[in-house]
Amino acid sequence: MVDFRKLTVLASSLLVAGAVSAHAATWQIDAAHSTLGFSGTQTGKPFSGHFGKFDGAIDFDPAHPEAGHAKITIDIASATTGDSQRDGAMPGSDWFNVAKFPTATFEATRFDAKGGNAYEAVGTLTIRGVGKAETLPFTLDIQGDVAHAKGHLGLVRSAFGVGQGPWATGQWVALDVGVDVDLTAHKAP
Inside any domain, residue 154: yes
Inside any domain, residue 13: no
Q: What are the C-alpha distances in Å from 76 to residues 52, 99, 119, 156?
A: 9, 10, 26, 17
Inside any domain, residue 12: no
Distance, in Å, from the CA atom of 154 to the CA atom of 132, rounded to the nearest integer, reads 13
Statement: residue 10 has pLDDT above 80: no
Inside any domain, residue 5: no
Q: pLDDT tens, 23-71?
A: 579 999 999 999 999 999 999 999 999 999 999 999 999 999 999 999 9
Beta partners for 59? 26, 69
Q: What pTM does this model have?
A: 0.85
Pair 29, 170: CB distance under 8 Å: no
Inside any domain, residue 10: no
Inside any domain, residue 63: yes
Beta strand residue intervals within 52-145, DSSP E: 54-60, 69-75, 79-80, 103-115, 118-127, 130-143
| Total tally of structural domains belonging to the chain | 1
Q: pLDDT tens, 74-128?
A: 999 999 999 999 999 999 999 999 999 999 999 999 999 999 999 999 999 999 9
**CATH number of the domain bearing residue 170:** 2.40.128.110
Inside any domain, residue 15: no
Beta partners for 40? 47
Inside any domain, residue 116: yes
Statement: residue 11 has pLDDT above 90: no
Domain housing 79: 24-187
Q: Is 163 exposed, middle or buried (0-12, 13-18, 19+ CB in 10 A)?
A: buried
